[in-house]
Amino acid sequence: MSEKENGGVSRRNLLGTGLTATLAATAGAVAGGGAMVVTHTGSARAETDDDHHKKALVPPGKLDEYYGFWSGGQSGELRILGLPSMRELLRIPVFNRCSATGWGATNESLQVLTEGLTPASRAYLSSVGLKTYQNGDLHHPRPSYTDGSYDGRYVFVNDKANTRLARIRLDVMKCDKITEIPNAHSIHGLRLQRYPKTGYVFCNGENRAPLVNTGKLLDEPKKWRSVFSAVDAETMQVSWQVIVSGNLDNNDADYKGKYVASTCYNSEEGTTVAEMTGSDKDHIVVFNLAAIEQAIKDGKAEEINGVKVLDGTKTSQLGITIYVPVANSPHGCNAAPDGKHLIINGKLSPTVTIFEWDKFDDIFAGKSKPESAIVGNVEVGLGPLHTTFDGKGNCYTSLFLDSQVVKWNLDDALRAYKGEKVNPIRQKLDVHYQIGHINATHGETKDADGKWAVALCKFSKDRFLNVGPMKPENDQLIDISGDKMVLVHDGPTYSEPHDATIIHASKLHPKEVWNKDDDFFRFSKEWAAKDGVKLGEDNKVVRDGDNVRVYMTAAAPAFGLANFRVKKGDEVTVFVTNTDDVVDLAHGFTIVDYGIAMEIAPQATASITFKANKPGVHYYYCQWFCHALHMEMSGQMLVEEAGA
């Protein structure tokens, strides 16, 4: 049925009015407040012109201006996109198993995946025949800072599914550390210390659980706890933890290295939806970093599972946290690049609340009440989730229920709160559909440049060709450089466009080839030293009882060993070093019918260990196209019966 035949009501307008009204009424009832009303603006598509679209075009042979780091959600991977083209450049496996690179199977990757496991998880995984978790839910990629600017060292990501934090090196775009965080449960919000540099990574344990979660207190949820963690960015060890009241959601740090704030829902500390939404108020919790560090020095912390843990609940007398009431179920928590303000997004309220960081000084000193830090409250629309910034005084908030981005002015919002008759709202732009995170170019730094923003939409519905019941999701590029936002690109994406961070290319300096002595190859280097082998030079087989170590080089178009022989039942470790130093000349190593495959970048070494339990002739070959004689780059693993 056409829009005309349907009485002039399109499906998009129906979503924007009827469905929104229904959800608004539900949200209002849940929050204990009245009905929420917002005017839906615009037609099905935003008005654009050729100039805006041309700015987003990157011709063949030209490079993008920005790197975008995209969370892979339930896939467990981190993705790199180029902006403004929105071309996918690379997928970095982190919490997932990758068939192409061998991540999750190679010794190098397993060392990263397993060395940070807690003893409890290590024991559990061993009991079910696993070395590491087989899944991950990767959220919130955040690059490291120095003095409020991106410094190009690392990107940190969290795994909500298995309570882990991972670090990706930006010089080689590989994950080099993964830490499971004890005492916490399901890490969600993740942000970094901005000043003087990223010393701490702040991780929110969203869900409440017993601190010592070993089967006790199962029926006493009021004794369960949500835990805020600070992880040392260099060592990737948990420095300290703070117990809080309610469920931690998202967090962000200031630009002075003094405070971190987190949104909290479920102030009721219930376990069902009805129990968790009974009150019309929840809160944010603000952490005083200096007070926390001093309390630990003063011996106020309890050690739990090897971590210093402090009581920061509402009844604590330590003076390390303050709680500020806000509307029910706050979600996004975003520090403005002016260094002065913090934006809290309402989710079940049509408002965003503005805080002034410096006002927390007097609150912690006992000179004023927590609510005194509130300096603004703006009605922006239904379902505000997250806010980003253009560095020109404007804020851009995602509206989940309205499927819109709203642009509003921070100074005008502050003036309106003081009673001046000004309207902070500049524009509302339809996005498609149910937007979650939004992030602008350098929007989380003091260098916010106001060029592009990305809307990460949970649904695409009719925006792309039908691919069956499981639809792609939709990343949309918005030009925010002018007075009006203009939607210029739709980008289908797979599970899940949870969050993204955008960095100017000048901030990063990735290597073209590996340094062959890099510590990332420590597993191979240690074994080579024991066996008296020079990686990248020697091609030999070392037998140690039923343990066999095979060392070989890979240089287009041949492996250093044309074949090697083992016995059935041997534990075999194959080490392959790519001796080519040509940019983009990766090799691979796949053993047919053995489930073995790994990638070896230029000057890198990769290794994999397996049982040779299938007798016969088994070809190995390079699965990464490398040379005109690529098909000839192969050899044979000869597996003979044990008694032969």
- Identity of the amino acid at 159: D
Strands 473-479 and 486-493, by their bridges, are: antiparallel
Q: Are residues 107 and 608 in contact, defined by beta-carbon separation less than 8 angstroms?
A: yes
**Residue 461 exposure: Cα atoms within 13 Å on the Cβ side:** 11
pLDDT for 106 equals 98
- Which among 505, 508, 498 has a CA at the least distance from the CA of 173? 508
DSSP three-state, residue 491: strand
Strands 281-288 and 321-327, by their bridges, are: antiparallel
pLDDT for 265 equals 96
pLDDT for 325 equals 96
pLDDT for 53 equals 82
Alpha helices in 591-641 (DSSP H): none
pLDDT for 278 equals 87
Q: For residue 594, give Cα distances in angstroms to 111, 230, 618.
A: 21, 42, 8
Q: Are residues 132 and 106 in contact, defined by beta-carbon separation less than 8 angstroms?
A: no
Q: For residue 467, give Cα distances in angstroms to 413, 461, 463, 464, 498.
A: 44, 11, 11, 8, 21
Q: Are residues 208 and 160 in contact, defined by beta-carbon separation less than 8 angstroms?
A: no
- Residue 505 in tokens: 């290319």
26 contact partners, CB below 8 Å, separation of at least 6? none
The DSSP 8-state label assigned to residue 19 in this structure reads: I
Q: What are the E-state strand segments in 296-440?
A: 302-304, 307-311, 321-327, 333-335, 341-345, 351-356, 374-379, 384-389, 394-399, 404-409, 425-430, 435-440
pLDDT for 294 equals 98
Starting at the edge strand found earlier in the chain, the sheet holding 138-146 runs 138-146, 149-159, 164-169, 174-180
Predicted confidence (pLDDT) per residue in 74-125, tens digit? 999 999 999 999 999 999 999 999 999 999 999 999 999 999 999 999 999 9
Angle, vertex CA 576, rays to CA 623 and CA 154, nearest 5: 85
Q: Are residues 457 and 476 in contact, defined by beta-carbon separation less than 8 angstroms?
A: yes
- Residue 255 in tokens: 């630009």
184 contact partners, CB below 8 Å, separation of at least 6? 163, 203, 205, 226, 227, 229, 241
pLDDT for 49 equals 61
- Residue 217 in tokens: 């207190």
Strand partners, 191: 202
* Averages of pLDDT over each 10 residues, the chain, 644 residues: 38 43 37 34 50 88 97 96 97 97 98 97 96 96 98 98 98 98 96 97 97 93 96 98 97 98 94 90 97 98 97 97 96 98 96 98 97 98 98 98 98 98 98 97 98 96 94 96 96 89 98 96 97 97 97 97 97 98 96 97 98 97 94 97 76
d(C-alpha 169, C-alpha 213), whole Å: 32
Strands 307-311 and 302-304, by their bridges, are: antiparallel
State pTM to two decimals: 0.92
Report the length, in residues, of the chain. Answer: 644
Angle, vertex CA 209, rays to CA 208 and CA 213, nearest 5: 160
Domain spans in the chain, listed from the N-terminal domain onward:
50-96+135-507, 521-640
Residue range 521-640 in CATH 2.60.40.420: yes
Q: Are residues 265 and 276 in contact, defined by beta-carbon separation less than 8 angstroms?
A: yes
d(C-alpha 200, C-alpha 147), whole Å: 13
The number of beta carbons lying within 10 Å of the beta carbon of residue 311 is 18
Residue range 50-96+135-507 in CATH 2.130.10.10: yes
